Structure 1
Amino acid sequence: MDRRQFLKYGSFITVSVASGAGLVACGGSSSAPADGATDLPLASGAWKFPQSVASGDPHSDSIMLWTRAVPASADGVAPAPSASDSAIRLVMTAVDNGAALGGSSALSGATVVDIKLPLQSQYDNTVRHKVTGLNPNTVYYYQFVAGDTRSNVGRCKTAPAADADVAQLQFAYMTCQDWSVNHWGAMTSIAGENLDFIVHLGDYIYETVGESFQVGAVESRHDALTLPDGAFKSGASGAKYATTLADYRYLYKKYRTDARLQALHERFAFIAIWDDHEFSDDAWGDAQTYDGTFNADGSDLHQTGRRRNANQAWFEYMPADVNLDTATTSFQNIKIYRDFQFGKLMQLVMTDERLYRADHVIPESSINPATGLPLGRIGSRYLVQQDVFNAVEAQKMAGSTTIGLEPLATVTMLGTTQRQWWMDKMKAATSTWKLWGNEVSLLRMGLNGMDAIATLLALNAVPTIAASIGSTAAAPAVGGKIPLAAAIVAAATAGATAALAQAGGTAAYVSYVTGGTAAAQGAAAAAAGLNAAQVAITVATMNAVIDISHGVLAATPAQQIAVGAQTIAFGYIKPDIQAKKIESPFVAASGKKAALAPFFARFLLNCDQWDGYNSERKALMGHLKSNSISNVVAITGDIHAFFAGTVSDDFDATGGGTPVMVDLVSAGISSDSFFSYLRDAAAALGDIAALVSYPLAIPVTGLGTLSISINMLDYTMGKAAPTVDSLLEQIRVQVRGALGAKGLPEAQLDATASAVLAGLQKSSDFSVSLLALAQQLAGLGNNPWIKHLNTDAQGFTLVTLTPGKLVAQFKQVNKLVGGNAPTSVVARVSTATVTAGSAAVAIS
């Protein structure tokens, strides 16, 4: 480290050079004190390490080590006592001390580092020490000593040399670990893996306490958080958000008291970036975007001091080899984007997608002309009309050019300097794989509103149609024949008069009974007076009911009626709306024409991610394409869901463009799922809610009723059409979790969940109605580039990388069991494989 830089940070970052017999520290001799520790007395007496130890940023010759020590009598999450300034020791060895992990027994073996380090209350008694001169691809063990107390033993591994042939790397990546909801059992599973390092993609802490998404069930070992200061999000009560340096420090300290998170830091070096919650939800630069907290002129509220506090706390508590400049008054006083080389196998590029980004293309503070109030989240960040977005983005880019800026200056996520750095790194990379530590998803997540509305109105018509089939079947002229009743109702729905519907339906049914083919049935219906469209739906509906009544389900009358109603709704009503749009008579008949009109458009679901910075994404992908840069894979967090898919050079081009790289998105460790957020938001949108969730009440003997919200969002976004079996398997984790919430012991959960699912298979509400809805939503064809998605999950991702392929295992975890993390942590594993030389992903 440059000594002048070292002095600027007031001895907070210290550096030493390891050697076989000891070390040389900033020009001193073996066991000499680091700068800043010379005048401090060595700590004595009883101390503790309430946040344990950590390591980070492994290079082939260096590692950053971290700890925090306070007197044994001090509160472990309170500010460090001002009188506690002293010095502690760091000891490091290459001798295997693996058996000591998880405990504080003294390290054994020859040391490569034994140094006195400063411990200062102005940095909250945190220590960040960089050891250089290490050997590549080597496991080291380290330990801090304060007075009479030793820290737990830490382990870290350096990266292979840049020119080394590497057969395999294995690492986990993780994100979104909200203390206040669900559980951290995933960390236990990660700790048991054989890893070279861990990548953390942000949302290490959540800046809010008591927010609406943080009031669900949480494991009992996570007590309530209390910010030292905090500011109310709305008025003088309710949720608070961190604002002072003490607030942010408190959150890191509190989160790091969990023994499972400590175990991860003790065992593996972290390579970490932040996302938004390390400062403020959906932040850009130093601006926060909480609804209703705008300036008097309607603009977003900029909080430079708060942003700097967040920067400093992250810097103090994350073992990252980055620089912080406290002398400048800018909020951009830290640079966390950086890269890592792992031999010839992989270059890992980590970006910062918050500090330099421009405002969302459509700001939250934009006035909604219908209400005269700021838009807030809906229409700016979420559920944004694509045509409106494209027009505003083009307008902003033209404005940038007019005032002498580059076109992307006002619509950028990375900023000009970081964007060029990313392009240069990708172009210059010589490794087989180029991995991108990416905060927010690159995948287009769109929705065709017209097709969705057509599906929903068809769905809403099913109960009415079913009732009509039932009453028609009961008429003496029909005599209980459900196929005939369905044929008559189908013709009437398609516009035939009652008399024509009766005649045409009867003619088709008589033809069937006498052995007529579908063509013959149609001819008979036409001869009775039905037009071509009426004939088509009449014959299709009648045969759908006949088929299910003779099929493997041995359908009950209720199931036959349900199939008939769905065939009419999705076979005639839906296509009519798709063809005639807002002018379809079925839209008018719904009584909601005015309310539904705005939804007859294409939407972008989440413009806080790369969909909201589309032109810059095109520039990055175009750079990869034009320079023939292959084997690029983004590892991504943020959205609390698992996704895998290809990223195109231009998603707006015919056919969705040309795939140039792959994006693999991991669900959050504990944060509530993307599905749950949209389910709650969609509940206020009436019919639109069916695009997201389907409520199902399941009676269970002895336990009462399980209330399950079945995930329809996956199918709306592009998941393949399910079978009954795959739909049942999809909800297994939710059913198991609901049983656990009812107090059922964990030993009984799996067997009971299987019994509940077996019972559901016999339910027409599930195996007919719900299945048909899921299949219709899957048929919308949204986002064909997404090859895997699970939007209702928590978990992490394990990557095994070889020269020939990248294998990512998406590990979904089970739900809470009562107030505890499940003993059986991992619920299911889905595998995404990327083969070298191909911008494609296969799912198994």
Structure 2
Amino acid sequence: MTGYPTRRKFLAASGLAAGLAFSGALPGIGTSNASTVEVDRLRDHPFRLGIASGDPLPDSVVIWTRLAPRPLDPFGGVNERPVAVVWQVAEDERFRRVVRSGVEIARREFSHSVHVDVRGLRPWRHYYYRFIVGGHISPVGRTRTAPAPRQALSGMTFAFASCQAWWEGYYTAFRDMAVQEHDVVFHLGDYIYEYGVGADSGVRQQAVPVEFTRETMTLDEYRGRYALYKTDPDLQAAHAVAPWIVTVDDHEVENNWAGPISENNAPREEFLVRMANAFRAWYEHTPVRLAQAPNGPSVQLYRRFQYGDLARFNLLDTRQYRDDQAGGDGEKPPNPGSLDPKRSITGAAQEKWLLDGMAEKSARWEVLAHQTAIAQLDVKAGPEVVVPMDTWDGYVASRKRILGGARERGVRNLVSIAGDLHRSVASELREDYAASSPVVGTEFVGTSVTSGRDGMDHDQVGRTILAENPHVKFHNFQRGYVRCEVNASQWVADYRVADRVTVADGTVTSRSKLTVEDGVPAIQVR
């Protein structure tokens, strides 16, 4: 979208924005009494950031929108008054069979965003939803609840994606995703980037206010970045066709942050304010429940989603609780820091939560949905091993405890899905690569949606990864996403890649389909 009015100057971090980010007072999710709020008859269409649904459960799903008639203005161009927003959920897209409805109050202190936790729905059913403000009706979204916890499920389809630097390409992957059939979509991080978009907005050549050329620090700057990304029609379309389950990686806050430690070792108090700003803006723009609303500089991100007896997805957080990257980050040989048995990428509480859950063996496929690669990735040709310190290679003890724990608990099919690398890498998982221990699971790392621009089938790094890591079975360096079809007998990962993202009319095709058979932790390349 183009032609937005000139943006007014953002609020400073030390003023209202910082106070809002640290505020513990958050609005409830659900219906509200509209008698105290007059409907604000906004002159301009307020749904320019689209609609979304997320975090599906067997009897509920969250639906979301944000009122923003002028998306790149502070507070989206909406005045101070609360706005009554009517919401409807129906069994048909023409809303002849409305099954749930109500009114939610959109408030200025939360950028007039709306989260409704719609309860009382039926398991494993498609529903349609929309929002109404005055005479304005939002686009219609389609969502789907999860199956009942022990429901026998014959199969499911889902997609996962990550890393979508707005200025580096068009969202060709999301345009393709929107026309596919998916029961749910996972976004595994880097939904936005904190970097400035550049004076020319990169390949998009779209005029933006000068504030968008700077790195995000304040609450309003993070809000503005989400608004800019969400104006994209292909991203809106992908949100509108299926529920999304969303976590964060590093760029939602700052590159390669680790707990309260910033990339450049900013003062702790200063970085905590930045984290609070980032998490507040993430919540305001994401279809999640009140349980995921931030408390200042912390947010509960790890959670589970059960899909009948077929699959259970453990959504992880490998940013908030990790120890600082070993060896000063970067790519290094294994070192005392990366091999330290006390260090963790998940933190002790999350690790226990994950291992305790694995012991339940509640589904045929046990899935780790998270930020970055578990598998060892030696990136140096020759006998010396050099690995990235920001992935699980920098936290070898975590890898051993989680993968060894899965083996000890008799997990039938362990699958990891991740992003972050800006390249597609499919690997077989071992708890100890130095000792060539048995394969205990499989991993599918998806490439970026746009980050890295067009790419190519293989680059030199990819060729080295294939040569030096025999457990890596597939590599590609183009942009795209992964579409998965899962049933009781097999898991099929379809790596869908774009020929180009630096032009608006790129196309997406299937680069390779990889299969894992039930009970056999090995990747077969079709």
Match in the other structure for 2:368: 436
Q: Does 1:14 align with 2:29?
A: yes
Separation in 1 of the partners of 2:118 and 2:373? 34
1:182–1:216: 8 Å Cα contact kept in structure 2? no
**Length-normalised TM-score, structure 1:** 0.57
Q: Which amino acid aligns with 1:807?
A: V
Map 1:109-120 to 2 at 5 A: 109-120=96-107
Look up the match of 2:11: none
Distance 2:421 2:458 in 1: 19
The C-alpha deviation readout for 1:199-248, integer Å capped at 9, x for no partner, is 1111100110157xx9896244x5457436xxxxxxxxxx7321111011
Q: CA deviation at 1:446?
A: 1.2
CA contact (8 A) 2:52 2:65 kept: yes
Equivalence for 2:484: 799
Q: Which amino acid in 2 is paired with 1:619?
A: R
**Alpha-carbon contact 1:357-1:412 (below 8 Å) kept:** yes
Q: Of 299, 302, 315, which residue of structure 1 is paired with 2:283?
A: 315
| Alignment partner of 1:419 out of 317, 326, 351 | 351
**1:584 — aligned with what?**
none
- Tell me the equivalent position of 1:837: 519
Percent of aligned pairs sharing the same letter: 25
1:442-481 to structure 2, matched below 5 A, reads 442-447=374-379, 450-451=382-383
Alpha-carbon distance in structure 1 between the residues aligned to 2:231 and 2:140: 16
Structure 1 distance, partners of 2:97, 2:293, is: 37
Q: What is the rounded CA distance, in whole Å, between the counterparts of 2:315 and 2:117 in structure 1? A: 20
Q: Map 1:416-815 onto structure 2 (within 5 A).
A: 416-447=348-379, 450-451=382-383, 601-604=384-387, 606-653=388-435, 656-672=436-452, 711-718=459-466, 778=467, 782-790=468-476, 792-815=477-500
Whether the 8 Å contact between 1:287 and 1:301 is mirrored in structure 2 is no
- Alpha-carbon separation, structure 1, partners of 2:73 and 2:238: 20
- Write the letter of the residue equivalent to 1:347: R
Shift of residue 710, structure 1, vs aligned partner: 7.0
Match of 1:262?
A: 236
Secondary structure, aligned partner of 2:496: strand
Specify whether residues 339 and 671 from structure 1 end up closer, same or farther in structure 2 by C-alpha distance, changes over 3 A only: same
Seen in structure 2, the aligned counterparts of structure 1 residues 167 and 324 have a Cα distance that, compared at 3 Å, is closer
Distance, in Å, in 2 between the alignment partners of 1:167 and 1:181 is 39
Q: Deviations over 1:456-495 (max 9, x none)?
A: xxxxxxxxxxxxxxxxxxxxxxxxxxxxxxxxxxxxxxxx
Select 1:200's aligned residue among 187, 191, 209: 187
Distance 1:710 1:659 in 2: 26
Deviations 1:731-754 (A, max 9, x none): xxxxxxxxxxxxxxxxxxxxxxxx
Amino acid at match of 2:302: Y
SS at match of 1:341: strand
Compared with structure 1, are the counterparts of its residues 139 and 226 closer, same or farther at alpha carbon in structure 2 (3 Å cutoff)?
farther
Check whether the contact 2:403–2:440 (CA below 8 A) recurs between aligned residues. yes
CA distance in 2, matches of 1:786, 1:170: 24
Tell me the residue number matched to 1:773.
Answer: none
Among candidates 57, 78, 93, match of residue 74 of structure 2: 78
Contact 1:175 1:203 in 2 (8 A): yes
CA distance in 1, matches of 2:487, 2:292: 35
Distance 1:124 1:218, change over 3 A: same
Change (3 A) 1:261 1:442: same
- Choose from 325, 330, 344 the match for 1:381: 330
* Distance of aligned partners of 1:56 and 1:77 in 2 relative to their CA distance in 1, 3 Å threshold: farther
DSSP-derived class of the 1:288 partner? coil
The amino acid that maps onto 2:137 is R
Gap change, CA 1:842 and 1:131, over 3 Å in 2: same
Return closer, same or farther for 1:89/1:216 CA change in 2, 3 Å cut-off: closer
Shift of 1:165: 1.0
Match of 1:304, as an amino acid? L
Change in CA separation of 1:437 and 1:267 when aligned onto 2, cut-off 3 Å? same
Give the conservation status (yes or no) of the 8 Å contact 1:798–1:810.
Answer: yes
Per-residue CA deviations over 1:306-336 (Å, capped at 9, x if unaligned) read 001111111111102252566x55x22x101
In structure 2, the partner of 1:361 is: 326
Q: Which residue of 2 aligns with 1:53?
A: 51
Q: Could you say which residue in structure 2 is the equivalent of 1:764?
A: none
The DSSP-based 3-state class of the residue aligned with 2:166 is coil
Partner of 1:41, secondary structure, is coil
Q: Specify which structure has the higher proportion of strand.
A: 2
After superposition, the Cα gap between the structure-2 partners of 1:362 and 1:711, relative to the gap in structure 1 and judged at 3 Å, is same
C-alpha distance in 1 between matches for 2:254 and 2:523: 33
1:43 equivalent to 2:27? Answer no
Q: Show the 5 A alignment for 1:83-482.
A: 83-94=80-91, 96-97=92-93, 107-210=94-197, 218-220=203-205, 222-224=206-208, 226-227=210-211, 240-289=214-263, 293-294=264-265, 303-323=271-291, 331-332=297-298, 334-363=299-328, 380-382=329-331, 384-386=332-334, 389=335, 391-393=336-338, 397=340, 408=342, 411-447=343-379, 450-451=382-383
Q: Structure 1 counterpart of 2:333, which letter?
A: Q
Relative to its length, the structure with more helix (as a share) is 1
Change (3 A) 1:362 1:116: same
Structure 1 unaligned regions, length at least 5: 1-7, 16-33, 98-106, 229-238, 364-379, 398-406, 452-600, 677-707, 719-777
On the 8 A contact 1:205/1:277 being kept in 2, the answer is: yes
- On the 8 A contact 2:60/2:117 being kept in 1, the answer is yes
Separation in 1, partners of 2:458, 2:345 = 34
- Superposition TM-score, scaled by structure 2 size: 0.90
> Matched residues in 2 for 1:427 and 1:709: separation?
40
Q: Which residue of 2 aligns with 1:821?
A: 505
In the superposition, relative to structure 1, how do residues 413 and 788 fare at CA in structure 2: closer, same or farther (>3 Å)? same
Q: 1:632-686 CA distances to partner (integer Å, 9 max, x unpaired)?
A: 1011111011111111021111xx221111110111111107x97xxxxxxxxxx
Secondary structure at 1:323's aligned position in 2? helix
Aligned CA distance change for structure 1 residues 355 and 114 (closer, same or farther; 3 Å)? same
Structure 2 Cα separation of the partners of residues 650 and 659 of structure 1: 9
| Corresponding residue SS for 2:56 | coil
Structure-2 change in CA distance of 1:67 and 1:170 (3 Å): same
Residue 788 of structure 1 aligns to a residue whose secondary structure is strand
User: How many corresponding residue pairs?
Assistant: 502
Cα separation, 2, equivalents of 1:41 and 1:670: 42
Contact 2:72-2:224 at 8 Å conserved across structures: no
Give CA-to-partner distance per residue, 1:524-574, whole Å, 9 cap, x none: xxxxxxxxxxxxxxxxxxxxxxxxxxxxxxxxxxxxxxxxxxxxxxxxxxx
Q: Distance in 2 between matches of 1:75 and 1:611?
A: 40
Computing the radius of gyration over CA atoms, which structure comes out larger, 1 or 2?
1
Question: CA separation of 1:325/1:832 partners in 2, compared to 1, >3 Å: closer, same or farther?
Answer: closer
Tell me if structure 2 keeps the 8 A contact 1:57–1:64.
yes
Aligned residue for 2:314, secondary structure, equals strand
SS in 2 for 1:304: helix
**Contact residue 209 and residue 225 of structure 1 kept, 8 A:** no
Distance of 2:390 and 2:200 partners within structure 1: 24
SS in structure 1 at match of 2:74: coil
